[in-house]
Structure 1
Amino acid sequence: MNFSLFFVRSTWVSLALTMALPSSIAILPSLASAATPPKPPNPSSRVQVPDYLNPNPNPLQFPTKPEEVKIQGTVPISLAQALELAKRNNQDLQIAILQVERSRSAVRESQAALFPTVGIDSSLTNSGNAFTSNSSQASTSFNGSAQLNYNLYNSGNRQATIQAAEEQLRVDELNVESQSLTISLNVTTQYYNLQQADEEVRINRSAVENAQASLRDTQAREQAGVGTRFDVLQSQVNLANAQQLLVNAISRQQIARRQLATLLSLSQSVDISAADPVQLVGLWQPTLEETIVRAFQNRPELQQQLAQRNINEQQRRQALSQLGPQISLAGNYNLRDRFDDSVSINDSYSVGIQGNLNLFDGGAARARADQSRANIAIAETQFASQRDLIRFDVEQFYSQLQSNLDNVQTSTVALNQAREALNLARLRFQAGVGTQTEVIAAENDLTTAEGNRVTAILDYNRALANLQRSVTFRGSR
């Protein structure tokens, strides 16, 4: 059903329309600052990173010569520097930030419906008879018009569209935060993997040195006539095994370095190593229950599900608004003039209100509303599923944190005992009351104890990083 009311006169009328981690934890550096629209940070507060670590600014760079990809040197970097490089260079994070800018523009587009639209049309025409030389028959005329339209009422469609766009912007902003936290966790975990690979090389190199010392001792004893060929063979086998383990550890170290370099999108000609020492990075003070509650409050994934539910609700309102009345205001001004005709300019205007009510659409609008209602239920179910998964993550990493802290203490005691046992085994062997087998066993025990301690410390750090990611300290917003 359509209805309209117009007032028309032959004169000009001017129309005017007047139409917002807990301080008790040793928090690792994070990328969460990228969750808000990018702002120039304070240079004095940023982590300093050498420029030569940054990749070529041309994303389409394609090396064609071996010297362009040859590693020129190894640069030690800290975890803080690695996180800063990831924030600068990660393509997924850059895409997420661009999606925020796109959604921000979409909000401005939806808000344009709050204002009237104004347009101007004009034409200048010369017309005449093409088959006669009588120039008096030719004439030039001008036509111009100005239109103004404003949607006075559309049953809530306009406001629902704006709110849906604002909620989508929030979803994308939360996605930037989630991407930042995920990148931070991945870089942190990979950095710990590199630390472990470095420590494995150190431990296995120390094991080779111990095996070489034992071999020299057994060879000297054999030459002195107080040792046996069997002891020498045992030492040689032990040395060969230690050398093989060292070679494998060096290979894993190279792989770990390249994995982190790839994750950070570094320059093609630079390799990196871990500059930070292997040590506990902090203690987690809150209880398990406090940690779970904080995770529920802070996780961006839960906020995303709520925002998605709100988007579906606004889409439901948009669908139902098509069944309500639509009222708009329209104004038009026309100006006509034919030159050299001794007639003054003609003008006219019209102002009117138009209304529309869709009486029957075959059920299409309500079907779209039902789809949105189903999407709301899906978002609510996904919220519940995400909440349960977050609780499981917190409980899992909290348990791992406690067990790994106990393992650190146990492995430290075992390492001291292994060192003492190796010294005693060598003294016994040199005194002739022990065997080379005991020395070799003690050396292997020391190597295992050193590896266990490094593993316990890094497993603790990994669990702490995962727990911090699960809680997601977002600060005040």
Structure 2
Amino acid sequence: MNFILFRVHSTWVTLLVAVLMTTLAKSANAETTAQTLQSPSPTVNNSRSIIDNLSPNPNPLLFPTKPEEVRIQGTVPLSLAQALELARRNNPTLQASQFQVERSRSALREAQAALLPNANVSGNLANSGSNLFTGGSTQSSTAFNGQAQVNYNLYTSGNRQANIRSSEEQVRIDELNLENQSLVVGLNVATQYYNLQGADEQVRINRSAVENAQASLRDTQARLQAGVGTQFDVLQAQVNLANAQQQLTNSIANQQIARRQFGTLLNLPQSVDITAADPVQLAGLWQQTLEQTIVQAFQNRPELPQFLAQRNQAEQQRRQALSQLGPQLGVTGTYNFRDIYNDAISVVDGYSVGLQSSLTLFDGGAARARAAQSRANIAIAETQFANQRDQIRFDVEQFYFQLQSNLENVQTSTLALSQAREALQIARLRFQAGVGTQTEVIAAENDLTRAEGNRVTAILDYNRALASLQRSVTSRATR
């Protein structure tokens, strides 16, 4: 009887030692993982070469035609700073906005050309002849006619200046639109980068959950072989492992989707895949109060001056339309000359200088109708300005409150993660000592998985809110 008790106690001691060694190893790995989440971003020595190698094909109309051209050849780790630089260089939306700015600047130069006179020359060389029936011969002559003309509009009732100022406002509108698109692309890149980090972390967490489930299955199988466990505990552990493996499979698929979505946003080459190089950590703290943040947003957001520029443009278009009813005065100078070859007369020339004026007496109300349309555009721009002002305040308040709540969630989830690790250790010790159940161990493992996921989610939600707030309160001095 004593021999049997000695064997039972020896088995319990062996199992307890194994459980303690496994728990300590997992605790050390968990602490290493936690330190990795808070470690600073690694230094990338070849940042410039990486960015240069990720340039898309310069021909925007080219597309792959062979399977090997779209096959992924490698995965490149990118930091958030590198991703932002790639987006500013490769993003098609920013490129299209830049082309719009260049187009409006060319239109401004066209409008400014009206400040200078127009000069043109023309010439005509012709040969003509006639039959002389009396003599039976043909008489022909060659003549050259030339003309030089200069025109200049002295007075246009404000049409010329209104057209130039309208073009200037269009340049301003397109420049502000380019600035706004740059901010939007930057926010999209930051958001997608955090999504990619979340997908990577979810794969890591689910792999850890699979490892925990495998360890629990080994423990239950060992207990069954030692005669102190049940087949029911083994089946529970097997089901828990299968569920963890399924979640890992889904998270790997989501990771691949996030990578391809981010590559599309950066307009990367077809054969390159990317992964997040930065660790998951808080991107920074927002020091300003809510009131200071709202005022700064009103001062710096490009949308508000863009609507003001649209209002000013509509005002210039109104003046341009009414100028058609005013007098128009211009000066013109012409020089003509004619030379008929093979005759006894030299070149015949002449000139003329004169003033031209016009006044529209009645146009059926077309000019005033165009002016009324411009006045309506002015009212629309003012209404949009007020609406955008209210939207900016709401955006700032929304992201500010989200930032504060997510920061609290980070602190809460960090504490919960530490408690979940401790709870799992206790549940395994209780189970090995025979005072707990396998159900408690599985529940503790699932709680740990959720706690790790909640912490990562809280950090990334905080970073997303911070990126949105920074986009809402943008400072031109830092761009």
CA 1:217–1:406: 2 relative to 1, 3 Å: same
| TM-score of the aligned structures, taking structure 1 as reference length | 0.87
Aligned mates of 1:308, 1:45 — CA distance in 2: 45
Which sections of structure 2, spanning at least 5 residues, go unmatched? 1-44
Report the equivalent of 1:71.
72
CA 1:357–1:60: 2 relative to 1, 3 Å: closer
CA 1:51–1:198: 2 relative to 1, 3 Å: same
Q: What is the DSSP-based 3-state SS (H/G/I as helix, E as strand, rest coil) of the residue aligned with 1:355?
A: strand
Q: What is the DSSP-based 3-state SS (H/G/I as helix, E as strand, rest coil) of the residue aligned with 2:477?
A: coil
Report the equivalent of 1:457.
459
Report the equivalent of 1:472.
474
Pair 1:313-2:353 in alignment: no
Report the residue type matching 1:55 in the other structure. Answer: P
Aligned length: 434
Report the residue type matching 2:252 in the other structure. Answer: I
Report the residue type matching 2:81 in the other structure. Answer: A
Aligned mates of 1:402, 1:98 — CA distance in 2: 40
Pair 1:170-2:172 in alignment: yes
The structure whose residues are more often helix, as a share, is 2
Report the equivalent of 1:252.
254
Cα offset for 1:142? 2.3
The two structures, once aligned, show a CA RMSD in angstroms of: 1.9
| TM-score of the aligned structures, taking structure 2 as reference length | 0.87
8 Å CA contact retained: 1:408, 1:456: yes
Aligned mates of 1:356, 1:114 — CA distance in 2: 19
Cα offset for 1:81? 1.6
Cα offset for 1:136? 8.1
* Structure number with higher relative contact order (C-alpha < 8 Å, ≥ 6 residues apart): 1
Cα offset for 1:134? 6.9
Report the equivalent of 1:34.
none
CA 1:476–1:164: 2 relative to 1, 3 Å: farther
Aligned mates of 2:426, 2:69 — CA distance in 1: 53
CA 1:476–1:55: 2 relative to 1, 3 Å: closer
Q: Which residue of the other structure, out of 175, 182, 191, is the alignment partner of 2:184?
A: 182
Cα offset for 1:47? 5.0
Report the residue type matching 2:59 in the other structure. Answer: N
Pair 1:129-2:97 in alignment: no
Aligned mates of 2:478, 2:78 — CA distance in 1: 31
Pair 1:119-2:120 in alignment: yes
Report the equivalent of 1:41.
none
Report the residue type matching 1:386 in the other structure. Answer: Q
8 Å CA contact retained: 1:204, 1:246: yes
Q: Which residue of the other structure, out of 373, 376, 379, is the alignment partner of 2:378?
A: 376
Report the equivalent of 1:359.
361
Higher mean C-alpha displacement, 299-308 vs 57-66: 57-66
Aligned mates of 1:155, 1:359 — CA distance in 2: 14
Cα offset for 1:70? 1.4
Report the equivalent of 2:390.
388
Report the equivalent of 1:86.
87
Alignment of 1:256-405 (within 5 A): 256-405=258-407
Output one character per residue of 1:307-333: Cα deviation in whole Å (capped at 9) or x when no partner: 111110000000110111111011111
Aligned mates of 1:121, 1:69 — CA distance in 2: 58
Cα offset for 1:63? 2.4
Output one character per residue of 1:324-350: Cα deviation in whole Å (capped at 9) or x when no partner: 111101111111222333223322111
How many percent identity over aligned positions? 75
Aligned mates of 2:249, 2:80 — CA distance in 1: 26
Cα offset for 1:135? 6.6
Output one character per residue of 1:132-160: Cα deviation in whole Å (capped at 9) or x when no partner: 67778322222211111000000100000
8 Å CA contact retained: 2:203, 2:255: yes
Aligned mates of 2:190, 2:175 — CA distance in 1: 23
